[in-house]
């Protein structure tokens, strides 16, 4: 019975091998015919990938079926003959080899990816030889092991297969340009720097890897494995982190390019996401690389010398670095949350921009404080030292920091008082501008000339401020105009009103008004009263355009604009 089963297995195995070599192409053609209707249901660009995936599955279908039958028979009967066990191992080897072979062929030779267009077929030619040699070598070694060949022969076979595979791989990897072309292209500076480093030191790294592999073959497995993992795991980790960072950053760049120039909330959200992504990438890269190179623990021991004592805790540079890393994570995360609140939450629930800025400022300092306490707590610093620090800060404020304390308190008053908010147009003394930022010590105001002023918060609290944004940005301005006594006052009024109504800088909130002010020494004087939006247009610009237009209209109408003059009468004595 067992002999019959064995004969059937061998026959099936031989038939399957012949079919996989001869009839596989027909199976692929059949699959392509059946898959044509599917091409109408999936996007055209994905159809080649679908075909390649189907071919990979078909190529491994026969060995998978045979492996399933073998596993079923193995469970049904208790048969431990050497040839029977070898058959199972060969079926597993065949399945894995068929999958790898077809996957490599479809990936490298079917132009599915841009990176394989130039050197894909050449690389596949060499990799195919290495793969076949490796499968044959493993099969020979497994056969010798199953049939209980002597240990010295087994070791010789293992050594010969290992050295030959390493040598062939080394010769294959000497094609530097071909293999580097397989790496994805990216505009990231960090990724390009890694590629440049890899290109410059490729042969050096390859030679070191080859020697480490030979050490492994000669019995120094731990040393060879250590060198290989240090080199290629580090390079692979750097490339992977850089690619992931760039793949996440590129959508943000595309979004940023689509934004309107004045959309500050969206731009702040994009910047916050980029900063957090960069921080996480740098931190993760440093940890992974230092850990792979085995430098993380030595670096920690080197930087663990005490600098000073805080309570029962000896503060070391390593503790400070860990505290700063945790605190920066809180800072970047809080900025991202503030930006998201500004961009998405506040507009939906109807929060005023000024109130939103106040809430974000409060949240910023609150998150910084929480991050500070959590960071020093996680690194093991005793929080009781803050009581001593608070006492010293109180003495410092009492002795020489009164102005600073006054500005800080005034800053909180401004932020939460609601009378001056970010984006408000205010006038302090001779300075008129928009509030761009409110800090704890000072408020930044930018005027129309793009000059930024830092006004101490205590001055804003104690001074008289004109806020053009509290209720309405509309203000009234006066333009004094004088004409000669020969002019008709009603004609002057008509011309000035028409000029003001035509000017696009003048608001239509209220109609322009002309007042007859006085009889001057050389002219009769009027005032043109118009309303403007101080947020949008400067007063001097409106006055300038109106004066130009009034001058032109007066000139057309023959109305004279006089200048001061005196008549001098000289009296002399007769004879």
Residue 453, token pair as written in the block:
């002023």
Whether residue 186 has pLDDT greater than 70: no
Is residue 51 domain-resident?
yes
Number of domains in the chain: 3
540/449 same-domain check: no
Confidence at residue 207, expressed as pLDDT on a 0 to 100 scale: 87
Is residue 281 domain-resident?
no
CA 302 to chain centre: 33
Most confident of 195-204, 215-224, 321-330: 321-330
94/176 same-domain check: yes
The least confident of 158-172, 245-259, 389-403, 537-551 is 389-403
- In angstroms, rounded to a whole number, what is the distance separating the alpha carbons of residues 528 and 500? 8
Query: Which of the four pLDDT bands, split at 50, 70 and 90, describes residue 180?
Result: confident
547/428 same-domain check: no
CATH number at residue 497: 3.30.70.100
- Terminal CA-to-CA distance of the chain, rounded, Å? 168
- In angstroms, rounded to a whole number, what is the distance separating the alpha carbons of residues 517 and 480? 9
Alpha helices in 379-464, H assignment, sequence order: 385-399, 402-417, 457-462
Q: Which residues pair with 467 in a beta bridge?
A: 426
Is residue 211 domain-resident?
no
Query: Which of the four pLDDT bands, split at 50, 70 and 90, describes residue 526?
Result: very high
96/18 same-domain check: yes
User: Of 166, 20, 194, 186, nearest to 91 (Cα)?
Assistant: 20
Is residue 47 domain-resident?
yes
Cβ(396)–Cβ(410) below 8 Å: no
Domain termination residue (choose one: 438, 467, 496): 467
Number of other residues whose CB lies within 10 A of the CB of residue 53 = 12
Is residue 257 domain-resident?
no
- In angstroms, rounded to a whole number, what is the distance separating the alpha carbons of residues 339 and 275? 12
Higher confidence at residue 78 or residue 557? 557
DSSP 516: E
Per-residue HEC secondary structure of 199-239 comes to HHCHHHHHHHHHHHHHHHHCCCHHHHHHHHHHHHHHHHHHH
Q: Which domain holds residue 446?
A: 422-467
- With residue 479 as reference, give the H or E element that holds it: strand 474-483
Confidence at residue 497, expressed as pLDDT on a 0 to 100 scale: 92
- In angstroms, rounded to a whole number, what is the distance separating the alpha carbons of residues 420 and 460? 9
The predicted-structure confidence for 282-325, as pLDDT tens digits, reads as follows 888 888 888 877 788 888 888 888 887 766 677 788 888 888 88
Place of tokens 């982190």: 241
Q: What is the mean pLDDT of the chain?
A: 79
CATH number at residue 442: 2.30.30.60
Cβ(555)–Cβ(565) below 8 Å: no
Whether residue 167 has pLDDT greater than 50: yes
Query: Which of the four pLDDT bands, split at 50, 70 and 90, describes residue 491?
Result: very high
Whether residue 477 has pLDDT greater than 70: yes
428/493 same-domain check: no
543/527 same-domain check: yes
User: Of 436, 478, 466, nearest to 454 (Cα)?
Assistant: 436
493/442 same-domain check: no
459/502 same-domain check: no
Number of other residues whose CB lies within 10 A of the CB of residue 114 = 10
435/534 same-domain check: no
Distance (Å) of CA 61 to CA 10, 18, 67, 88, 247: 18, 14, 10, 16, 35
The predicted-structure confidence for 492-513, as pLDDT tens digits, reads as follows 999 999 999 999 899 888 899 9
Is residue 175 domain-resident?
yes
Cβ(525)–Cβ(531) below 8 Å: no
- With residue 371 as reference, give the H or E element that holds it: helix 353-378
Cβ(101)–Cβ(59) below 8 Å: yes
- In angstroms, rounded to a whole number, what is the distance separating the alpha carbons of residues 39 and 296? 52
All residues at 6 or more sequence positions from 319 whose CB lies less than 8 Å from its CB, including other chains: 313, 379, 380, 381
Is residue 340 domain-resident?
no
Query: Which of the four pLDDT bands, split at 50, 70 and 90, describes residue 1?
Result: very low
Number of other residues whose CB lies within 10 A of the CB of residue 447 = 15
The least confident of 308-317, 378-387, 561-570 is 378-387
57/169 same-domain check: yes
Confidence at residue 386, expressed as pLDDT on a 0 to 100 scale: 60
Distance (Å) of CA 261 to CA 266, 268, 274, 502: 10, 12, 18, 30
Confidence at residue 110, expressed as pLDDT on a 0 to 100 scale: 79
User: Of 137, 127, 142, 63, nearest to 98 (Cα)?
Assistant: 63
Q: Summarize the chain as % helix, strand, coil (round to 5).
A: 65, 10, 25
Cβ(241)–Cβ(285) below 8 Å: yes
Confidence at residue 2, expressed as pLDDT on a 0 to 100 scale: 46
Number of other residues whose CB lies within 10 A of the CB of residue 126 = 16
125/166 same-domain check: yes
């Amino acid at each position: 019975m067992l002999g019959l089963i064995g004969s059937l297995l061998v026959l099936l195995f031989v038939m399957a091998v012949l079919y996989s070599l001869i009839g596989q192409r027909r199976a692929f053609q059949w699959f392509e015919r059946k898959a044509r209707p599917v091409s109408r249901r999936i996007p055209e660009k994905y159809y080649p990938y679908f075909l390649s995936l189907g071919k990979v599955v078909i190529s491994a279908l026969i060995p998978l079926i045979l492996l399933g039958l073998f596993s079923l028979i193995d469970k049904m009967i208790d048969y431990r003959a050497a040839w029977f066990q070898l058959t199972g191992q060969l079926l597993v080897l065949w399945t894995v080899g068929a999958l790898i072979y077809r996957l490599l062929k479809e990936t490298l030779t079917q132009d599915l990816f841009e990176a394989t267009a130039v050197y894909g077929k050449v690389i596949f030619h060499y990799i195919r030889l290495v793969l076949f040699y490796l499968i044959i070598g493993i099969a020979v070694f497994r056969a010798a092991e199953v049939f209980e060949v002597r240990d010295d022969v087994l070791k010789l076979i293992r050594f010969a297969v290992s050295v030959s595979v390493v040598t062939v791989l080394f010769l294959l990897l000497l094609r530097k340009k071909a293999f580097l072309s397989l790496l994805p292209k990216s505009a990231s500076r960090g990724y390009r720097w890694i590629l440049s480093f890899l290109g410059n030191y490729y042969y050096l790294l390859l030679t070191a890897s080859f020697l480490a592999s030979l050490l492994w073959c000669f019995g120094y497995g731990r040393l060879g494995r250590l060198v290989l993992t240090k080199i290629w795991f580090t390079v692979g980790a750097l490339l992977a982190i850089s690619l992931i960072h760039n793949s996440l950053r590129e959508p943000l760049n595309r979004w940023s390019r689509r934004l309107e120039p004045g959309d500050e909330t969206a731009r702040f959200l994009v910047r916050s996401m980029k900063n957090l992504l960069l921080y996480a990438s740098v931190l993760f890269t440093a940890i992974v690389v230092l850990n792979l190179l085995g430098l993380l623990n030595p670096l920690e021991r080197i930087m663990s010398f005490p600098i000073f004592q805080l309570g029962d805790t000896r503060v070391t540079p390593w503790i400070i670095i860990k505290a700063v890393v945790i605190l920066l994570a809180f800072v970047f995360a809080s900025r991202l949350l503030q930006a998201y609140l500004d961009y998405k939450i506040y507009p939906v629930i109807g929060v005023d921009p000024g109130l939103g800025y106040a809430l974000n400022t409060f949240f910023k300092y609150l998150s910084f404080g929480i991050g500070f306490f959590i960071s020093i707590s996680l690194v093991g610093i005793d929080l009781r030292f803050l009581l001593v620090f608070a006492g010293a800060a109180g003495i410092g404020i009492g002795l020489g920091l009164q102005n600073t304390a006054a500005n800080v308190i005034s800053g909180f008053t401004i932020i939460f008082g609601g009378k001056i908010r970010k984006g408000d147009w205010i006038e302090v003394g001779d300075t008129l501008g928009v509030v761009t930022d409110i800090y704890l010590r000072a408020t930044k105001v930018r005027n129309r000339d793009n000059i930024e002023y830092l006004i101490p918060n205590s001055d804003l609290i104690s001074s008289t401020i004109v806020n053009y944004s509290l209720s309405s940005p509309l203000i009234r301005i006066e333009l004094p105009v004088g004409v000669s006594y020969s002019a008709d006052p009603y004609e002057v009024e008509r011309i000035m009103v028409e000029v003001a109504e035509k000017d696009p800088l003048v608001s239509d909130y209220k109609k322009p008004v002309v007042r007859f002010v006085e009889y001057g020494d050389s002219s009769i004087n009027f005032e043109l009263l118009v309303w403007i939006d101080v947020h949008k247009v400067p007063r001097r610009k409106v006055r300038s355009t109106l004066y130009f237009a009034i001058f032109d209209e007066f000139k057309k109408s023959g109305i004279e604009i006089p200048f001061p003059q005196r008549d001098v009468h000289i009296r002399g004595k007769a004879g």
